[in-house]
Structure 1
Amino acid sequence: MVGVLIRMRLLLTLRALSSGWQGFSFVMGVLVGSVFALITAAMVGFAVRDGDAAHATTVAATIFGIWTLGWLCGPVLFGSSDETVQPEHLRLLPLSDRQLATGLLAAAFAGPAPVINLIAFGGLVVLAAQWGWAAMVVAVAGVVLQLVFVVLLSRVVLAWVGAAMRSRRGKDLGVLLAGLVGLAYYPMSWLLSHVSALRDVPPPVASALRWIPSGWAPAAVEAAAQGNWLFALLPLVGLLVVVLGLWQAWAVLLARRLAAPMNSVAGGTGGGLLARVRQRGPLGAVLIKELRTWSRDSRRRATVLPVLVVGVLLPVFPAVQGGGTGGVPFAGVTSALFASLAGANLYGYDGTAVWQTLVTPGAERADARGRLLALLIVIGLPTTLLSLILPGALGRWELYPWVLSLHAAALGAGVCSALVLSVIAPYPLPPRTGNPFSGSGNPGCAKAMIQLAMMVGQLLAVLPVAIVLLVGHFTEQKAVEWVALPVGVAVCVAAVLFGGHVAEQRLTTGGPELLDAVRPR
């Protein structure tokens, strides 16, 4: 069974290489990853300075920690969880949970990502070669266990978050877990900024890097180099125990996933605030339907949450790193700009269900405006709260005209660009699986360029507001700065009306082409 799954994975990977732009991006990703892996291996392998084994171990533990965090936050932030071989395809086979977990784990190692990581972790063997054959043997065992550890850890965390986000009761827990995993980007960026100057890292941090599982393999190599065989074997045994525990946890999560519906949309029809809202006409029906879909569809939530987290953390990172709190009040503005990217393929989420709109006379207007209003609510509520609270909470009351006016313009421009992109550059999404992070589709080169152009358009839409604010700032006229608020609201309203008009016209004149574009291939 293991051999069959490995061959299946390899055949599907080879097929992806022959699919135009997707194959090109796949090859480029492998090449870029290989370059970074070689750089990582060199940094670890030649980390010894003046015979200082402790420094070399700290460098190796730090870099191993960075790669481990990359396996954790990458799939959540970028929707890049690879499930070429999906567990749902094996639902009817007479396999136990542990057999299925073993087979899927073996298939996971057949892709390029584990090979790239093996090259990166292989720098530890080069480092151990400078300390003798015994240290090399320990390093080889540590590299293998480290590789299995990061792959299994990524699978378990994604399966855990995905299981929570498929459940109505666990929806809030899933959102929290995904946010925490996304926050792993911050310690990874902090470690990256200190790799070249690890002698300045405080001793408690250096010790913590050795004590967490990602640092056990380098610590074992250091102990072997010093002839301390007890402390050389203990970290390896610890890694083995952790790997076995993760494997068992993944088997349990796979069993729960296969027992759950494949559509990954949380059920439930009654109760809640939306059930009490009176649906006035087609527009109200589309609005309520979209709001319910955003609250129930785990794949939509898994798309919008990471970009919200990135948008909020973008101005927070410099403040945490000692750059001042000047950008923190603008977290609502940046999150509005980034979160709109989650709605850039609204019709791709529906797939061929779009035909119901196209065959209903006069439904295009209500459908386009209802989706736009729903996206405005989904993105606008949290980002508006951030814009209203943060300046006052930080004592920066003078920034309110800046934050509120820029937020209004950014929100309108973001929602407009998302809806326009949804009708002029839609693309099909992969079939639903039990993992909401299992991929976000491939828009292709031409459509990716259109998305980039729309992001530039968002910045241009905010430009009038920025000009008014700068005039008020340089003339020291606070009243002029407040004039930017109605300008920002006007930009928001104009962008929303423009986006709704473009989407309606596109649906009316190019509906069949849109349906063909979102049809799964």
Structure 2
Amino acid sequence: MVGVLIRMRLLLTKRGLSNGWQGFTFVLGIVVGLFAAVVTAALIGFGASDATKGTTIAAALFGVWTLGWLCGPVLIGSSDETVQPEHLRLLPLSNRQLATGLLAAAFAGPAPVINLIAFGGLVVLAAQFGWAASLVALIAVLLQLVFVVLLSRVVLAWVGAAMRSRRGKDVGVLLAGLVGLAYYPMSWLLSHVSVLRDLPSGAATTLRWLPSGWSAVAVEGAAQENWLLALLPLVGLGAVSLGLWQAWSVLLARRLATPMNSVAGGAGGGLLSRVRQDGPVGAVAVKELRAWWRDSRRRATLLPILVVGILMPVFPAVQGGGTGGVPFAGVTSALFAALAGANLYGYDGTALWQTLVTPGAVRADVRGRLLAMLVVIGLPTLLITLILPGAVGRWGVYPWVLSLHAAALGVGVCSALILSVLAPYPLPPRTGNPFSGGGNPGCAKGLIQFAMVFGQMFAVLPVVAILLIGRATDLKAVEWLALPVGIAIGVAAAVVGARFAERRLTTRGPELLDAVRHR
């Protein structure tokens, strides 16, 4: 059974490589990952000749890779579920057999191989201290790889289970946000790569005590011929991995036994039931608002990005870097939250055919989705934009934040509409993990999001230019002039995005339908 699942995973990965643009970006992601892995292995293996300093470097970099396994799938929705548990529901397999088979299939992809190369730097470091340390390092690297893969699977399965149920929605939101915030300690470690050997003793000790640093501690113990210190971390990693495997098997059993419906809640009621649905556009907008509220896949995409976008300028202030960026939290949150709409038709899947075969439905569908995105993203981010500058006493930045927010929101929605019809991809079924990227390689989505952010920043340059002129001339009237310019850019971008999406759906509808169809 394990061999069958591994071959299935490799076959599906091979098919993904031949899938045009997605295959290209997948290969590009592998190349970038290999480069990062080689650099990591070199830093660990040759960064220090002393066992203590080498252990600090290894523990820090292992922590970065571990956090990458946690926050990456949550932030860009690329949790791999090439082989879904639901496909094996009818087979006579126990929960532990299923967990073992899926775990073996998880190691068949390129990501574990890349991580093995990165962790292999520990073996190079240990080779300086004899064959015993090398043997300990080899075992530690394998256990470290098993640990990070299982940790990622368990955390995402736990958060995903909460996000699929109405009762656990609030808990899922909190957990997704906290996992996404792992970006900040990871960025802190990356910013201190050049001084890893001279980290403060408290930080170095913390990195050693975390499970991500136990394999490095084991090598340090073997280098010092302290065999108790060498064996205890290995036993600890094995015990933790065994516990994670057991937890994963339990989560898989609950996932298969419990009816999962990502569209939670009743069919009617609530505020949306009292909203007037004048015409097809209004009906589509209300339908989309309900979907954003109820569909766990949309929440899993939107909420972590929204939380991270808000806290990106706030986090430096917490670290003592001043409150200069705090008023712009609404702008950054609008900038990043628009990324959640980069695959609007992927959420619908083959239901897109109903829009394509209904005369005149394309225009109403695109504009209804546009209005829904403006409400879902615009209202909370505008509220943040209005509150934070006054809360921190920065009243003079209101022309800046309001004009940039209007431009960023409109351009972001424009980018989301264009990419939804230009580069759609299938999403997992609603019974699957909402953080799964489906048939789309994670790198493809990451590159698309990068292109969106770059385009948004370029489009708001006229607003920035007016604001800078107003600041240089010390004329508030000139700064406030940026607000109508920002609104105009946002409206124009939204109109351009809607028209492009309408034209693309009309002329390339069958190709889009094929692109969002699960193979």
2:94 paired with 1:96: yes
Percent identity of paired positions between Structure 1 and Structure 2: 78
Q: Paired residue for 1:466, among 464, 471, 474?
A: 464
CA deviations 1:306-357 (Å, max 9, x no partner) are 4324433443455456654322211211221222222122223212212222
Counterpart for residue 436 of structure 2: 438
Paired residue secondary structure (2:192): helix
Counterpart for residue 275 of structure 1: 273
Shift in Å, 1:454: 6.4
Counterpart for residue 292 of structure 1: 290
Contact 1:45/1:127, CA 8 A, preserved across alignment? yes
Q: Distance in 1 between matches of 2:445 and 2:7?
A: 33
Counterpart for residue 31 of structure 2: 31
Q: Distance in 1 between matches of 2:129 and 2:237?
A: 22
Shift in Å, 1:148: 0.6
Q: Distance in 2 between matches of 1:217 and 1:412?
A: 48
CA deviations 1:358-417 (Å, max 9, x no partner) are 333433343222211100011112211221122122221110111011111221222233
Paired residue secondary structure (1:85): coil
Distance 1:482 1:22, change over 3 A: closer
Structure 1: which 5+ runs fail to align?
none
- What are the equivalent positions in structure 2 for 1:5-84 lying under 5 Å apart? 5-49=5-49, 52-84=50-82
Counterpart for residue 358 of structure 1: 356
CA deviations 1:75-95 (Å, max 9, x no partner) are 111222122221111110111
Q: Paired residue for 1:212, among 195, 204, 210?
A: 210
Counterpart for residue 427 of structure 1: 424
Paired residue secondary structure (2:78): coil
Shift in Å, 1:217: 1.2
Look up the equivalent residue of 1:348 and give its one-letter code: G
Counterpart for residue 340 of structure 1: 338
Counterpart for residue 408 of structure 1: 406
Q: Distance in 2 between matches of 1:460 and 1:94?
A: 55
Q: Paired residue for 2:103, among 88, 99, 105?
A: 105
Distance 1:9 1:355, change over 3 A: closer
Distance 1:468 1:27, change over 3 A: closer
Shift in Å, 1:452: 7.4
Look up the equivalent residue of 1:19 and give its one-letter code: N
Q: Distance in 2 between matches of 1:447 and 1:249?
A: 29
Distance 1:93 1:439, change over 3 A: same
Distance 1:132 1:281, change over 3 A: same
Q: TM-score under structure 2 normalisation?
A: 0.91
Look up the equivalent residue of 1:37 and give its one-letter code: A
Contact 2:68/2:186, CA 8 A, preserved across alignment? yes
Q: Distance in 2 between matches of 1:494 and 1:41?
A: 48
Distance 1:448 1:156, change over 3 A: closer
Shift in Å, 1:477: 1.5
Shift in Å, 1:232: 2.1
Q: Distance in 1 between matches of 2:515 and 2:223?
A: 59
Q: Distance in 1 between matches of 2:447 and 2:29?
A: 18
Q: Distance in 2 between matches of 1:214 and 1:450?
A: 31
Contact 1:76/1:306, CA 8 A, preserved across alignment? yes
Q: TM-score under structure 1 normalisation?
A: 0.91
2:246 paired with 1:254: no
2:92 paired with 1:118: no
Distance 1:104 1:447, change over 3 A: closer
Distance 1:105 1:280, change over 3 A: same
Q: Distance in 1 between matches of 2:196 and 2:59?
A: 11
Look up the equivalent residue of 1:98 and give its one-letter code: R
Q: Distance in 2 between matches of 1:27 and 1:484?
A: 42
Contact 1:57/1:222, CA 8 A, preserved across alignment? yes
Distance 1:213 1:506, change over 3 A: closer
Structure 2: which 5+ runs fail to align?
none
Look up the equivalent residue of 1:364 and give its one-letter code: V
Q: Distance in 2 between matches of 1:204 and 1:463?
A: 43
What RMSD in Å do the two structures reach over aligned CA positions? Answer: 2.8
Paired residue secondary structure (2:122): helix
Shift in Å, 1:67: 1.0
Q: Distance in 1 between matches of 2:6 and 2:439?
A: 23
Q: Distance in 1 between matches of 2:391 and 2:441?
A: 40
Contact 2:77/2:436, CA 8 A, preserved across alignment? yes
Counterpart for residue 171 of structure 1: 169
Q: Distance in 1 between matches of 2:452 and 2:138?
A: 49
Counterpart for residue 232 of structure 1: 230
Contact 2:63/2:207, CA 8 A, preserved across alignment? yes
Shift in Å, 1:450: 9.1
Shift in Å, 1:513: 5.1
2:384 paired with 1:397: no
Paired residue secondary structure (1:130): helix
Shift in Å, 1:455: 5.5
Contact 1:266/1:297, CA 8 A, preserved across alignment? yes
Paired residue secondary structure (1:54): helix
Contact 1:421/1:451, CA 8 A, preserved across alignment? no
Distance 1:494 1:196, change over 3 A: closer
Paired residue secondary structure (2:105): helix
Q: Judge which range, 403-412 or 145-154, deviates more.
A: 403-412
Distance 1:39 1:450, change over 3 A: closer
Distance 1:311 1:440, change over 3 A: farther
Distance 1:9 1:270, change over 3 A: same
Distance 1:262 1:472, change over 3 A: same
Paired residue secondary structure (2:434): coil
CA deviations 1:94-137 (Å, max 9, x no partner) are 11111110111111112222122112112212222222232222
Q: Paired residue for 1:483, among 481, 484, 497?
A: 481
Count of aligned residue pairs for this structure pair: 518
Distance 1:517 1:218, change over 3 A: closer
